[in-house]
Amino acid sequence: MKFNRSGGILLHPTSLPGPYGIGDLGPQAYRFVDWLASTGCKLWQTLPLGPTGYGDSPYQCFSAFAGNPYLISFDGLIEDGLLMQDDFADMPDFDASRVDFGLLIPWKLEILQKAFSRFQSASDELRAEFDEFCNNNTSWLDDFALFMSIKEANGGGAWNEWDVSLRNRKKSAMDKARRELSESILRYFFYQFIFFRQWDRLRAYANERDIRIIGDIPIFIAYDSADAWSNQKLFFLGEDSLPTVVAGVPPDYFSATGQLWGNPLYRWDEHQKTGYAWWLDRFRAVLKMVDVVRVDHFRGFAGYWEIPFGSPTAEHGQWIPGPGSDFFKTMNIGLVTASDAELPIIAEDLGVITPDVVALRDEFNLPGMRILQFGFSGADNPFLPHNYISNCVAYTGTHDNDTALGWLDTAPEEEREFALRYLRVDGSDFAWDLIHGIWSSVAVYAVTPMQDALSLGTEARMNFPSKLGGNWEWRMTDADLSDELAGKFRELNKLYLR
């Protein structure tokens, strides 16, 4: 696809304001789109939109294809006649500035159950829509709904803890589970139907206002997912169904023991035998939802760090070649429709980047990422704007970084001084100094997290990668989408031809 010079905001839907304890796909999402359109920005970037599990991370989902039911708009269900105002009589007293997942999840599922119960007597038109959705998505939906239903019946236990006949997908056991759990399976069908119905309408609304949505594909999937359970041949799993090797990154300047992610690793030879069919399905599914997709840990397609399962740290791993050029040639053939078009992919090329990663990215002309917050170690740092090329996406920071102001408060003194000298500023409006820095650059896309647009500190950080708990919780308020802030972006987009 052609990338045109544009600016945008990184904001996960969970961070939108609203009365129901979490941002959702309802009125506030449409208000955000309207506000974004008024700024002259043309990009809305989100994190992965899948169903989150333990730790509430959008990068560890129960499915690479399903949507997150916690994003379903209750206002939309009221419009459909599936919820009533009385259903919210016992709504918890939610904190408007944070998502309290422990408080939210049981309550939201209870309300969604009420909507599902009313759906049994829904209009013929809505039922026909539902049937069409189920028929069109059977390739992933059937396994996902069965997986979630069995998981629920097993107290939430991971699939390797299930009865061996279900773990190994024995036909008689699967048929029995489908019969006994038919109501639960139908409920999970319903949640997915409503999620995609609401998301598709929101995405169309954004596109009508000249806003493209940038989505996100994590290269690795969660072990406890419908994908690993239903495609066991595609992963390195042992006879006990547990992984034999797992993903991570080696020790570096930031971590003496590396990062042990624990995701199962792909048997790329098996994927190649199928013509990468699962991956083609995955990309097609996400590109039905978004306009451009950021591929997380792009370097894993060139080579990835393999760690023996059970290792306490990531230290004793080894580099293994990835599928490389063959993979993206197949994606190019399967996904690109016009002869002069290119893959609508942004390569997250951060971390340990070796020449083979750069060569793979450049072979397919994929824009990489430049994070200005990483740039203040010296004039030759590739993350400084004067070192950018046009075929890249510039960010002040990402969901994994501290906010700009948080960084300024904690950065080493020499980096802090270099940043102020480089930007020729005094630090009194530092977040916006960074925004000016990337907007004025040659980068084709310039994107800032909403937290930096609002000049917020560490308290608004979205994720601390090494911290357990307290992540993914930040929310903005109603007042944050101000005309004044829109005006600042409008001026910037006009000034720098974005």
Determine contact, residues 418/377, Cβ cutoff 8 Å: yes
Which residue is associated with the tokens 């920005």? 41
Is residue 400 part of the annotated active site? The answer reads yes
Determine contact, residues 485/493, Cβ cutoff 8 Å: no
Catalytic-role residue among 356, 400, 415, 429: 400
Query: Distance between CA atoms of 265 and 333, rounded to whole angstroms?
Result: 25
Is residue 34 part of the annotated active site? The answer reads no
Strand duo 303-308 + 318-321: pairing: antiparallel
Query: Distance between CA atoms of 105 and 226, rounded to whole angstroms?
Result: 20
Query: Distance between CA atoms of 327 and 345, rounded to whole angstroms?
Result: 14
Catalytic-role residue among 24, 56, 224, 348: 348
Catalytic-role residue among 24, 143, 296, 480: 296
Q: What is the dihedral of CA 154, 157, 162, 168, to 10 degrees?
A: 130
Long-range pairs for 438-441: beta carbons < 8 A, 24 or more residues apart: 438/370, 438/372, 438/385, 438/394, 438/395, 438/396, 439/7, 439/492, 439/493, 439/495, 439/496, 439/498, 440/385, 440/495, 440/496, 441/385, 441/388, 441/394
Is residue 315 part of the annotated active site? The answer reads no
* CA distances to 350, 365, 386 from 380, in Å: 17, 23, 9
User: Pick from 267, 265, 264, 263: which is nearest to 233 by CA?
Assistant: 267
Name the token pair of 435: 């925004």
Residues recognised as catalytic = 296, 348, 400
